[in-house]
Structures are given as structure tokens and as C-alpha cells.
Chains A and B, each alone.
Chain A
Amino acid sequence: MHLALFIIFAGLCVAGALNLLLQRHPINSALSLIVVMSSLAVLYLLLGAEFLAAAQVIVYSGAIMVLFTFVIMLLNAGKEERTHGSRLAYIAGFPGAAALLGLLTYIFLSHSATFGQARLGEYLATTDDISRVLFRDLLLPFEVTSVLILIAILGAVALARKEH
């Protein structure tokens, strides 16, 4: 059951990410990114992070992606023209990314036994557990992030304002 759910939603994740890579219209890329983020929320749920699964749907596939689609429509972004990027990206970037993927996959799979197996329904982190740590041990960082959000709102308004 767990393995079947993992395979379905991991497949959806990878398919969505590849679709983001291959589509040429930004709105198609944005919609496939929503698919990736929503299936990641299911994977968080499978790993027992129920609060973060809800936050992923609300914050990422809700708020952030709505902002993205809104900006795409506001700027009336059309199909991107395929120009050749920098040569350094092709020479160093893709082999680097492929080497990183190969190395990480090799390390994770060869140490698979030490990572252990995830069983469905064990170690469920409820909102209660998370807030206990967040509001007792990490109250100051939590309050500092509220200042960060406030500054980000002010910065966004100041940057996007029309100049007279």
C-alpha cells in the first residue's frame, strides 16, 4: 500500500518536473509545478508530517503558485524563444548536475540499510508536537521570521510600484 502510493506520487512528481523542463509556455510550466508540489504534499503525509503536508498545499500550491500564475498573466508572457544560453552552462552545468545526481543516488542506495524503512502511520508529527518545539524552544526565530515577512511585503510593494 505504502509502496504503491509512493510509486504513484513519486512518478507524478518526476513527470511534473520533466514537464516543467520541456514545456515552452510559462503557464504550462507553472501548472506542472503545482502538480509537483501537490504530490510532494502526499509524500510528506506518507512520511508522517501532516502539518507540513497541509502547509505545503496552502503555502506552496496555494499562495506561491497563484502569485506565479498571476504574474505570468499580468505580464502576458508568451512562448519563450529558444536561444542558446551561455556555453559554460552546457559544458560544466549539465555534466555537473548529472554527476551530482549519480553520486547522491549511489550514496543513498549503497547506505539504504542504515537509513531504514518508513512504515505507514509511525512517528506521526502532529501540529501539537511541532508547535511545542516551535513556540517553546524556537520562539525568537519564529518572531524574527514575522519581521522578515513584513520587510518582504514592504519590499515587494516598493519594487513593483509604478514610478512617477
Chain B
Amino acid sequence: MTELDFNWMAGGPQGSGVDAAANIFGRACAYGGLYVYGRREYHSNIKGLHSYFHLRVSTHEVLANVNDVDLLAAFDAETIVRHLGEVVPGGGIIVDKDQLNTNISAIPTLPLELKSTLRRYLESRGLSDRLGDLLEDAKKREINIFQVPYMDLLKQIATKLGIDKLSKIMRTINVLTLGISFGLIDYEIELVEKAIKAFFREKPKIIEMNILAMSLAYEYAKENFSEDFKFKIKSLPVREERILLSGNQAVAIGKVLGGCRFQTYYPITPAADESEYIESHEILKSKIPGENAGVVVLQTEDEISAINMASGAALTGVRASTSTSGPGFSLMVEGLSWAGNNEVPVVITYYQRGAPSTGLPTRHGQDDLRFAIHAGHGEFPRIVLASGDIRECFYDAIAAFNYAERFQLPVIHLIDKALANSFQTFPMFEIKDIKIQRGNILNEEDLRGIEYKRFAFTEGGISPRVFLGTKGGIHWYTGDEHNEFGHISEEADNRTKMMEKRMSKLETIDREISINEKINFFGNEDADNIVVSWGSPKGAIIEALNKLTSEGFNLSFLQVRMVHPIPIQHIKEILQKAERIIDVEMNYSGQLGGIIREKTGISMDFQILKYNGRPMTSTEVYNAIKLVLQGRAPKRQVLNYGS
């Protein structure tokens, strides 16, 4: 069987169903035993501005996007104008016949800076302002243009369903493009129908209409264009159980499985979807006879309230967390410091996005590594975990609570927009080995006959914990420096001992958490060239690594998952052996590289950075690393793919 690697993109104005189309496309492919990876891009806008979904389908597991688009399903003219350059020779564009006469310069939603670039491009090619001309020109690059009479198809649907107004079914344009797409690639229509049914399962009334629209378009494509397009896709038998999910969903499911029963949030992109997803599943199914399970999800008045409510809840013994993004985390900082000082096991899921300030609210970035590590006045221990893919998001969400309770400290689970909003197929989670580790907790019986001190000095810094409300365990918390009972103390000796007690947990963590939970290492241990990274570039790096290795390059990849406290001794040992260290990060300064240098004295020899708001593709990571390996790269390469 030949390896399939097909890249489909759907684009249109926000509110026109791009997301729905992509979800159905992804599902239909996944139902057929194919692997998919899909990235969602959208503006900070409700309706009208451009959004798109870049979806990759393959017979092998796919971990990231590539630069290519093989088939562009355009709902509007803007999608073509923006993404034409990404379509490969031999690829295709699905366009509404009625839009060929659109004047490009008259597209109202195109930003001025893009319009002037386009004008220069059209002039250089000697083209008019008409979309049709641009597409004619594309044919010279061997791109197939599939003109579809959307209006005629809509009229046919209206007649079949006895609908008097076309406006009632305009929303099915997205499904028409799906039908055309699947007709072109000659994929099994039953699987598409199955995907439509699953996607609209909560709106049974519109299933029929959408299936009709899709099949009409499917037949249209088969009749009119089927020979013109070289990409054909067939389903495969599925040998294992697989799931298709986003990072938001993976975190949510990990949290509840990991025992989270209290979640707070204030609406913010791209974190809020996680909380809403949990709330929609707030009643859980307990395994234990006679027990109930449910999560309370609270939307608070701001992020200050979100962190502090979660901390308060955590003191009662519940596993509590909050989810936010950069601007929200900025507001949480004082609360984080309180939680650090009071050794509160609270989990903060931190979805990074383009920053500073409001930055790129719906776009990707890894700008906040140092912020997550250093946020809060004063010095206190915390753990910062960075997931590299959607699968890790799930397991790390569970680990975050285990660490928080075992070591009694705030844990920041650092993910990002690329993980939050992308979806990917995975083999079903392995659940049977998951353990809940609650750390040292005393109950009423344990407390009998002892004088309890919440912050008792201990070897390793961890004092037995008692939940609020436990008989015999009365104690106090305060943001002030405190004595072992939790009462305010400004005594010099106590202060020194308390600081040392808290901070010694960092060494305890170094000792007690195995290195396997802190880093991932891919490739040959003795490779001369080592890529260092953290978070979501992982997928693109692994794909690049595999390709470069198969080409004979000697390369390995160190992924740091526990970025704080960073397992520095281990990292040092790995990096010392390397000839060339290549730092790959989605920020301006190479923050992880800086931290490693600060702690080891080892500098990153090369930087591959990106901060345009769009995740790294494996194509560009491959190209950039290859330049380094060929000795042709500058010390700092800045990637810029993506629109």
C-alpha cells in the first residue's frame, strides 16, 4: 500500500461553518481508519472575518501540519486569495462559480496590509483585479479549478425538501464543499454520512438536510470532475480503537479522571472551551457502588476570583483547578503567590497564545515559559509541566494533580493554542495504569492525641495535610510568613526555616519524580546534533527528525516536559555530548534555551524560532534543521509560514 499524505483546507468567513466542515471531514477520514491532524485558525471576531482549518490525512500517524495544501475548499473569494499560494501543483481549488467575477480589491474583510501586497502581486503577473483571472493564472501552475454552481445546488436542495426560501439553507454551503471534496477524492460516502450524523447528533432535524446537500454535491463532483483530480483516498480496516480529540478536550477528560471536582474559569480564548466541555459533562459516572461523582464548574467574575476560589476549594480537600490564558494568568499572580506561601495544591491550566498584552488572542505562541516559572512575588516552589502533544495533555492533566497533592504546591500545566484547538487521532488512552496519588493526608483518627501543625518542619519540606473541617486538626493559613501552626510570624529564625522548608521541596521533587516523567528523548543517544524544545513544536520536530534520520543525518531530540524544576543535571549530561545544539521554540528569545544556559553554562548553538502566531509545520522545521546540519544556517532562523 502506498503512503497517503493528503492536505485539505477549508476556509470562509467566521460563522459560515468552517469548523463544522473540518470536524466532519476529520471524522469521516478517521472512521475510515486514516490518521488526521487538523489545525484551526480564526480571528478574534464573531462573524465575518476569515477563518480556516488545515487538515492532514494519512495512512500513518500524523503529528503536525505540512506547508502544502492539496485541495482548498473555499467558501468565499477571500479564502482563495489568502491561500492560493499554498496549493501545490496538481492540487485543486473548489470555488463558487458565482464568485469568479469578484473584484479582489473590493473584498471588504481583507486587511489593508494584505491588499497592497496582493496588488503588487497581481501587477507583477499582469493580472486584473478579477478573481477568475487569478484562478486562470493558477492553472499555469497546474492547479485544478473546480467551479461549482453552489446556487443551483442550493435550489435543488430547496426543491427536494420543499423549502421556499434559499436563505434557510445557505448555511449548508460548508457541507456542499465537503460533498465536492469527498467526490473529488472518491472517498466512501457512507463514512461521510456517518460523520454528519455524529457531528449533528444533538440537532437531528438538520441531519437529513445536510446529508442531502453533501450527497448532491458528491454526485455533482463525480459526474463533472472525477477524472481531473489525482488524489484518491480509500478507507483502511481499523485494527485498534482510536479517538479524535482536541487539546481542550484531552485536558478536560484528564482532569476529571484525575479527580478534579472543582473548576473555575473566567471566559478567555483559548482556555474557555475546556471548562465549558467539563460543565457539559458535569455529572460523572462513579465506579464505586453507592458513590456519586460530579464536577462543579464555576464561571467567576474575573481571574483573580478564579484562582482564589480554586485555592479556597483546594483547602477543603477537593482537587481544584482553574484554566486561563496569558492575560488571565497575569491577574492570577498574587493568588499564585498566596498558594505558594500556603502550600496549596491547586492546578492552573495555562493556555498560551500570542502575547504581550491582548496580543494575538486567537493565535498561537509559546511566549510565557519564563512568566509561568517566575510569576508571583517572592520565591516559592511550584511545578511547571509543558505538554508536547494532545496525548500528553491528557496524562499531564492527571499528573498535575498528583504532583500538586504529593508536594503541596501550585502546579502550572502549560499548554498553548496549537494544542488547545487542533485535533488529532490517537490510539485509545491507556487508562488501567493511571494512579491517583494524594500525598500525606491526616484524617480525624490520625489526629487523635496529637497537636497538629499544618506547616510542621519536616525532612523534605512536606508537612502532613489536613482538610478544613476535620475534627482535631484546627489550623490557620495566612499570606504572611507564618509559624508551624499557620499563625503570623515575623521572627527571623522562623523565617529562615520556613523559607528553607518550602524551597527544599524542589530538591524533593528532583529526587522523587522519575526522569521519565520530566523529559522525552527521541533518536540516537550519541547523536552529534541535538534539538532541544518544549511544548507543541514536538510533533513537527519528530516528523522532521524522522525524515532527516532516514536521509542519513545524525540527530536526536530532547523534549523538556517538566520545565520547572528543570531536571538540569540530566539535561546537562545529554547536551555536553552534543556537537551542535539546536533550540526550537515558538517565541522571540528562545526562552528554554536561555534557562538551560543560565543553569548549565551550555549555550544553544542554533536557534529556530517562530512568533508569527501560527504553529510550526514539519516542513519548515525540517528545512530549518537541515540547513543547520548542512552547515548553511545562520545562528538564528526565524520561521514565518502560515496565513
**Chain B binds chain A:** no
Interface residues of A (CB under 8 A from B): none
